[in-house]
Amino acid sequence: MNPLPGTQPNAQLSTEQVCLKRDGNSILVDASVQLHAGEFVGLIGPNGAGKSSLLRVMAGLQQPDTGTVSLAIAGETSLQPLAKIPARERAQILAYLPQQETPAWPLQVEHLVGLGRAPWHKPMSGKSTRDKSAIEHALQITELTDFRQRIVTTLSGGELQRTLLARVFAGEPKIILADEPIAALDPYHQLHMMELLAEHSQQGGTVFAALHDLSLAARFCSRLVLMHHGKMVADGEPIQVLTTENLQQVYGISAYVDCREDGVVIVPRKRVF
């Protein structure tokens, strides 16, 4: 949710003037964003806009060339440099769901989901009652209880994506960074996963998700960040970001924008050359 006028809640995760280059090409240019508790923020933009790179930098998986990434750790209201927070402590707070992940081992679904508990116990130690409860809850909310014994390498793309998201929920993170979490899902499960992510934010968590379905992003996200060529073009409520001008400038399309009580519906009409 957006802060009330005159108030500014403490940020959970923040980037300031982040720049990243690859092979001499600018991938991120002065990217600054603040995420707060209770927000479901959609990260939108065309292919190659820098969305995945920004998420990886914010997850601590890639170091920016310049700029800072900061995280509020448990019990603290102030931000600390992400790189200085121990990996295990960071993983207890922040979870990252990549765009594409292929399991390396033929694990059962329940075991893969259980890997989400890794930050909470020492290696080779048995699962605690809390671990078992969190894993069971994750399987239930993602509707995977009947899949618990399935081998992950036999799953469809959509079933695997749900399993990976269940692994994220099993870790009970405060912050979820998700790169196209609904890309491989059918419409039913797209709605289901968006509802779960929205519920996480409504319960005080934070979600920052790269999304290509603009209508679903507008419906579920309290705020959208629009990127183009590695730069932040717009940041605000969906109705403020999804304008015909922004869609033409960034996506190169002419679109019909229908503002409704339950969100903004985007209907692409034609490409703009």
Residue-level pLDDT at 7: 31
Mean pLDDT by 10 residues, the chain (273 residues): 37 92 94 96 96 97 95 78 92 92 87 94 77 96 96 93 96 96 93 96 96 94 96 95 94 88 83 84
Residue-level pLDDT at 30: 96
User: What distance in Å separates the CA atoms of residue 127 and residue 90, rounded to the nearest whole number?
Assistant: 20
For 11-101+173-271, CATH number out of 3.90.1150.10, 3.40.50.300, 3.40.50.720, 3.40.718.10 equals 3.40.50.300
Please give the backbone phi and psi of residue 135, each rounded to the nearest 5 degrees, phi first: -65, -45
Residue-level pLDDT at 104: 77
Residue-level pLDDT at 5: 33
pTM assigned to the model: 0.91
What's the helix, strand, coil split of the chain in %, to 5? 35, 30, 35
Q: List the domain boundaries for the chain.
A: 11-101+173-271
User: What distance in Å separates the CA atoms of residue 252 and residue 271, rounded to the nearest whole number?
Assistant: 6
Residue-level pLDDT at 10: 61
Nearest alpha-carbon partner for 156 in 184, 183, 194, 135:
184
